[in-house]
Structure 1
């Protein structure tokens, strides 16, 4: 498998699919990424002196509210964690970020990832309306004494930074394992994770593994699980998390 070619193909596709339009003092950027409502993700940028201002025009939080999701105290804590992870701030309901002009590509990448992450983690399962999926995964790890570092970031070969929910350190018998909890396993989530992983793997070493925990209480998109497996990713379905093979995969 030519990983470098796959990364180049992905970035070429992304460049060709992104469109922009001047609206007042902002540029509206439309990405090929779909949110949980199957709408294309949009952000707005403008130059302020030698910096670029990024905003989502409050769309991310407003979409959550439109779907009846209330930001409880615990969810606000999780939201702030995600924002901190990607270097984004909340101004009222508006996601914002600033970056020097020469850091535009990296900051745009992180801003989009923050929007996608919030949309994914806060789109709650119909059967789990009281907590977030990431909370459930953390509680499961604690229950099974799976020791890990949460909220880690690595620089990929492309120069982009990529965030992972958990890092399980290598041991005498197990390789390093990076883990992502995926609340809504759709094509957008899959594409982002595989791009990040293929980019990260080039600098982390051949023995590193990626594990994705898919919330199958929500609908899993057609071909998603198979695509992860094709690209040498270990898949754990949430409903089968207590399977001995899955516990063994996560243990030290």
Structure 2
């Protein structure tokens, strides 16, 4: 199992490229944005010795091109909630995080997670959208009287913190649930790493679920098999009877 977990770090190293661009170091990450291009982030030293990590203004530029207004209404609430959850600041239309060298790895991890979460917001670019996927899910399990804790941070064996969408607590067992609104191969790897990293740090027996929004895009059998291989049970939003039955079986 140790080799499997560390293979994720090897994959990151092999698929990361760094080059100097002016005062910045540009990093080409192995993660994909909504255009299926590599996610780029930029690093520079500040006068006080800290490091600023930036998206180079890409997210806000994308929102502008897609006519996604995050300055008011529900989209602003979602945008601000994600930023605050991942400790991202908005400075002159750039998403940034400032860190010292000791906390660099943890904060960079959060920064990338936050950008990928914000990338999902382009799916909300419909006038008929009234709620996000997470809100829909939590509203549904509320109606079914299922107790949960939402937006939990858990430290893994790697000492990295992971944002978990919600946990179902039980007396002997618990269920850890991550939501996938826009799933691709890179996100599958990221979710698998998260579950593998946190499982060993939990005191209770943990059941792991990935709940996938399949309303607009059918789940790939390859992705489902990959999750199952790591004892992560894939559930689909279209089959609500199954997900409620699974959630009620957490004891």
TM-score (norm 2): 0.90
CA shift, 1:42, in A, is: 0.5
CA shift, 1:28, in A, is: 0.7
Which structure 2 residues correspond to residues 1-252 of structure 1 after superposition, within 5 A?
Answer: 2=1, 4-48=2-46, 49-71=48-70, 72-124=72-124, 129-171=129-171, 175-205=173-203, 207-219=205-217, 220-221=219-220, 223-241=222-240, 243=241, 245-251=242-248
Q: How far apart, CA to CA, are the structure 2 residues paired with 1:92 and 1:139? A: 35
CA contact 1:127–1:217 (8 Å) conserved in 2: no
CA shift, 1:111, in A, is: 0.4
Spell out, residue by residue over 1:90-129, the C-alpha distance to the aligned partner (whole angstroms, 9 max, x if none). Answer: 2243211101122111111110110011112542387963
Q: How far apart, CA to CA, are the structure 1 residues paired with 2:212 and 2:102? A: 36
Return structure 1 stretches of 4+ with deviation > 4 angstroms.
125-128
Distance 1:120 1:213, change over 3 A: same
Spell out, residue by residue over 1:119-171, the C-alpha distance to the aligned partner (whole angstroms, 9 max, x if none). Answer: 12542387963332122112112222222111101111111111111011123
Pairwise CA RMSD:
2.0
Q: How far apart, CA to CA, are the structure 1 residues paired with 2:21 and 2:83? A: 26
CA contact 1:19–1:30 (8 Å) conserved in 2: yes
Where does the alignment leave 5 or more consecutive residues of structure 2 unmatched? Answer: none
Spell out, residue by residue over 1:56-77, the C-alpha distance to the aligned partner (whole angstroms, 9 max, x if none). Answer: 0121232233234333422211
CA contact 2:154–2:163 (8 Å) conserved in 1: yes
Where does the alignment leave 5 or more consecutive residues of structure 1 unmatched? Answer: none
